[in-house]
Structure 1
C-alpha cells in the first residue's frame, strides 16, 4: 500500500509542476478574479462531467426543540452573515456552518456546531449551545449563540474568541421583553415545586451552593433544557466512531486500480484549472483591449477638436 501511495504523490507533484510551467503571455498574466458559476464553466470544458458540490456531514444528530415556546418561530429557518472571507449560516435548533468565500482549490466548508442545549444563568435562557461540529485537531468545533433585542431577526456578528470556539450574536425581537427569557414559568408544576423546595433548602442553609446547583441541573435536565450526561457521552462516542470510519474510508491507495482511478480524477481536475486560468486570462485581455480602444478613441477626438479649433482661429485672424 505504501508503494502505491508513493507512486500517487509522485504523479500528483509531476502534474502540478506541468501546470505551473505553462506560462501565459506577459500581457495575460493577471490576478485571477472570481468567476460566477465555476461548476458550469468546467462542465462545459471537459467532457460535461458534473462537479460535486460539498456535502456537509454532521457528527451527531441535533437535539429536539426546547426552550421558550415563542422561539419555535425560528425553527426551520436559517440566517446568513457574509464577511470578506466567509459566509456563516445559523439554523436555530439545527446547526451553524461556515463556508469559505475563495477561489482556492477545495475551500473550507464545514459545520461549526450542532444544536444541543441551552445555557442557563440566573434563571434565564442566555445562549444556545451548538457543539460537536467538525474535528479541529484534538477537539470538535463549537459555537455559542447569544441574543440581543432588535426589530428583526438577523445574524449580526460572528467571532472566534478561542481556536475553534465561535461566538454568534443574533438579533431578534423575541428577546425584547426580558421576562420571556425566564426559565421558571416554562417548567411544569411538578418541576416548579421541586425548584421552590431547593430554594428553601438553600435559604435555610440545609444544602450548599454547589449542592443547590447540582439539584437545579437535574431539574433543568428533566425539563429538557439541558442534556443528560448519558446523552452527552453517547454523542461523543458516536462522533469518535464516525471519525474512525471516515479515516478508514480515506485509505484510498491500497491497490493499483484505486491509485490509477485517483490519478485520472486529478488529471480531470488539473484540466479544469487550466481551462479556468485560460478563460480568465482571455477575459482580462479583452477587457484591457476594450479600455485601450476607448482611450485611443478619446485621444483621437481630442486631437480632432484641437485641430479644428486652430483652423477656425487662423481663419478668423
Structure 2
C-alpha cells in the first residue's frame, strides 16, 4: 500500500462558477488471500512513508508476495501483507475511526541461525514523536493465518503469523540460504570464536555483517535510502499529477471559451432580431 499522498487543488472557471479539482495519488489495490471481503479504498492515513525493502529470506516464502491476511479483535481490524506492510483500522468507532500503518517491510530478526521475525518499521506517527513498528513472529500452522497482535510497548506491536511454509526443522534455517562465500565467512567466524580468537560480541558483529551482505538485514543507511526513495517518488508523482491537472484545466478553459463564443453569437443574433 503505498506511496505518499500528493494532493493539490486547482480552480477553473466554468460559466461563472468556481469548480475545485482535487487530485489524489490513490494507492493500488492489493491481492488478498484469505479475506472474504476487503475494502480496497484507502485514504492518506494509509499511505506509506517508506518504500518496502526487496524480498529476502527463504525462497519458498516468495509465495507470500502479493497476498494479505486479516485478523479482527473486539476493536481493530489488522491486515498483514508479508514483505510489504501492516495496517490497523478501528472497527468500533463510527466517527472518524483510526486508520494507520503499523509498519513497512524492512528486514529479518535472526536468532540462533533461524529467521525469527519480520521487522515492519516506519509506520504512522506516534504521539511520542516516533513511528509505529511491528515485529511479526512466524509459527508453524495448517493454514496461513494472522492469529494475534499485541502492543507490549506504546506503538511497538508484536504479531504472530502462522503458515505451513514455516513448518519443518529446516524451513527457517539461515546458513544454507546464504551464498557460498558468506557460508565460508560464517565458518571462519565460528572457528575463530570457538578457539577464543574473538569475543562473543565480536562474533555477533561479524554475523550481523554477514547477514547485511546477504541482504537479510538492513543498515541504518539502507533504511534511510528507502525513506528517501518514497519521498522522491512522491515528488515525481506530484509533478506528473500537476502537469496532467494543468493540461485538463487548459482543456476546460478552451471548452469554456468556445461556449462563451456561442453564447455571444446567440445574444448578438437576438439583439439583431429585436431591432
TM-score range, shorter chain: 0.5 to 0.7
User: 1:81 maps to what in 2?
Assistant: 71
User: 2:177 maps to what in 1?
Assistant: 186
Deviation digits for residues 110-146 of structure 1 (CA, Å, limit 9, x no counterpart):
1000000000001110000000000102111000101
Distance (Å, rounded) in 2 between the aligned partners of 1:241 and 1:71: 30
Cα pair distance change 1:59/1:113, threshold 3 Å: same
- Determine which of 45, 48, 51 is the counterpart of 1:58: 48
List gaps (5 residues or longer) in structure 1.
1-51, 243-317
Select the structure of larger CA radius of gyration. Answer: 1
- Determine which of 94, 105, 124 is the counterpart of 2:114: 124
Distance (Å, rounded) in 2 between the aligned partners of 1:195 and 1:53: 45
What is the CA RMSD across the aligned residues, in angstroms? 2.0
Distance (Å, rounded) in 2 between the aligned partners of 1:203 and 1:61: 40
Deviation digits for residues 2-44 of structure 1 (CA, Å, limit 9, x no counterpart):
xxxxxxxxxxxxxxxxxxxxxxxxxxxxxxxxxxxxxxxxxxx
Distance (Å, rounded) in 2 between the aligned partners of 1:209 and 1:221: 18
Q: CA deviation at 1:228?
A: 2.0
Normalising by structure 1, report the TM-score: 0.57
Structure 2 residue 124 is the aligned partner of structure 1 residue 134: yes
Secondary structure of the 1:224 match is coil
Cα pair distance change 1:61/1:53, threshold 3 Å: closer
Cα pair distance change 1:74/1:65, threshold 3 Å: same
User: 2:82 maps to what in 1?
Assistant: 92
Distance (Å, rounded) in 2 between the aligned partners of 1:99 and 1:233: 27
Do 1:59 and 1:238's aligned partners in 2 also have CA atoms closer than 8 Å?
Answer: no
Structure 2 residue 160 is the aligned partner of structure 1 residue 169: yes
Q: CA deviation at 1:229?
A: 2.8
User: 1:156 maps to what in 2?
Assistant: 147
Q: CA deviation at 1:102?
A: 2.9
Deviation digits for residues 71-130 of structure 1 (CA, Å, limit 9, x no counterpart):
111111000001121100000000000011134321111100000000000111000000
Distance (Å, rounded) in 1 between the aligned partners of 2:63 and 2:42: 30
Deviation digits for residues 227-247 of structure 1 (CA, Å, limit 9, x no counterpart):
0231134456779999xxxxx
Q: Report how many aligned residue pairs link the two structures.
A: 191
Do 1:79 and 1:90's aligned partners in 2 also have CA atoms closer than 8 Å?
Answer: yes
Q: CA deviation at 1:54?
A: 2.5
List gaps (5 residues or longer) in structure 2.
1-40, 234-275
Structure 2 residue 104 is the aligned partner of structure 1 residue 114: yes
User: 1:46 maps to what in 2?
Assistant: none
Secondary structure of the 2:74 match is coil
Deviation digits for residues 244-292 of structure 1 (CA, Å, limit 9, x no counterpart):
xxxxxxxxxxxxxxxxxxxxxxxxxxxxxxxxxxxxxxxxxxxxxxxxx
